[in-house]
Amino acid sequence: MKIKYLISISIVGLICSIAPVRAQSGFPAKSVRIVTLTAAGGTLDLVARSIAQKLSEQMGQSMLVENKLGAGGNVGADVVAKSTPDGYTIGMNTVSTHGINPTLYGKAMPFDAVKDFAPITLVAESKNVVVVHPSIPVNNAQDLARYAKANPNKLSFGSAGSGTSQHLAGEMFKMQTGTVMQHIPYKGAAQAIPDLVSGQIQLMFVGVPEALAHIRSGKLRALGVTSRERSPVIPDSVPFAEQGFPDFDVSAWFGMVSPAGTPRDIVARFHAEIVKAVSSKEVSARFANVGLDPLTSASPDQFAGFIRQEIAKWAPVVRASGAKAD
């Protein structure tokens, strides 16, 4: 009797241990929610919907994109952080939510950018370019530093808002050059660009997609990109790191995360499928069309390390800037 009992227990245990594997092999068994952090029609929304469409084709289930706006992306990221970690909710994250905001918002952060997520991978990068109104007599990074030193507080640089990567790129330049410039925050780059084109402000550290048409038309002059690598869409724009500022490295990156506790095999599945989607001709072409560079090299563990590095990199810049969360 005892032997039969033990055998029964063993069989039940075996079934229980196998059951999750069987359930997992059919993943996903229903539609998946993908949370993005900005309004429909923006760059991040395009990234989310492009990937979602491809994932739906590859994985055989609907990928439902939800736009959750507010607090520099924190609202949407918090939705992901507090979702059930079963693989049926994943979301976008950015340099703001997982680089700048932990210091910018401090104790007001609704989540822990490291502990509350299971990173999946980086997916795209929007390189920032430094552009000036043609009336400003500068052509490169060194010219800008010299002109700003000779004209303290006479240059105004616009940004998409206080605490954005564009704002902090300007603050980083001020820190590294010892210059003084006025920061003019706008509610989005789209509002700032017209004032730059008209000459009401003199320069911007702005994403390549927002400035590309004006650079090509000659309405704005590009001084260089703020990332270490050149942008494929403006390859003649030399990185500031190659113009005498070797530590200057700023870009707006986009990634995808799941809630902490999501099974590693589900994270691994999403990683493989997302890399495949971003590498596809359709998605790569869509990204390139708006000046985005696809990223497919980061494993989940590498992405987790990258997030920790970004938080550490931006902390002193945020503190020195005096930026406050809106």
Give the pLDDT confidence of 249-286 residue by residue, as tens digits. 988 999 999 999 999 999 999 999 999 999 999 999 99
Domains, the chain, ordered by start = 31-125+251-321 (3.40.190.150), 127-242 (3.40.190.10)
pLDDT band at 187 (very low <50, low <70, confident <90, very high): confident
Higher pLDDT, 180 or 14: 180
Res 19 pLDDT > 70: no
Residue pair 326/161 in contact (Cβ under 8 Å)? The answer is yes
- What is the pLDDT averaged over residues 63-82? 96
Res 21 pLDDT > 90: no
pLDDT band at 146 (very low <50, low <70, confident <90, very high): very high
Average pLDDT for the chain? 91
The pLDDT of residue 18 is: 41
The pLDDT of residue 251 is: 87
- At 253, the amino acid letter reads W
Tokens linked to 204:
């911007």
Tokens linked to 141:
């990074």
Low-confidence winner among 84-93, 169-178, 316-325 (lowest mean pLDDT): 316-325
Res 24 pLDDT > 70: no
- What is the pLDDT averaged over residues 38-60? 95
Distance, in Å, from the CA atom of 223 to the CA atom of 243, rounded to the nearest integer, reads 10
Tokens linked to 28:
């996903």
Q: What is the pLDDT of residues 280-311, one digit of tens each?
A: 999 999 998 887 889 999 999 999 999 999 99
- At 41, the amino acid letter reads G
The pLDDT of residue 196 is: 98
Low-confidence winner among 17-26, 53-62, 317-326 (lowest mean pLDDT): 17-26
Res 107 pLDDT > 50: yes
* pTM, to two decimals: 0.83
For residue 199, is it left (φ>0), alpha (ψ between -120 and 50) or beta? Answer: left
pLDDT band at 174 (very low <50, low <70, confident <90, very high): very high
What percent of the chain stands above pLDDT 70? 92
pLDDT band at 12 (very low <50, low <70, confident <90, very high): very low
Provide the CB-side half-sphere exposure for 221 (13 A, CA).
15
The pLDDT of residue 2 is: 40
Distance, in Å, from the CA atom of 116 to the CA atom of 259, rounded to the nearest integer, reads 6
Residue pair 187/195 in contact (Cβ under 8 Å)? The answer is no
- What is the pLDDT averaged over residues 129-154? 97
- What is the pLDDT averaged over residues 235-242? 94
The pLDDT of residue 322 is: 86
Res 6 pLDDT > 80: no
- What is the pLDDT averaged over residues 144-154? 96
How long a stretch of residues is the chain? 326
- Closest Cα to residue 164, out of 121, 128, 212, 200? 128
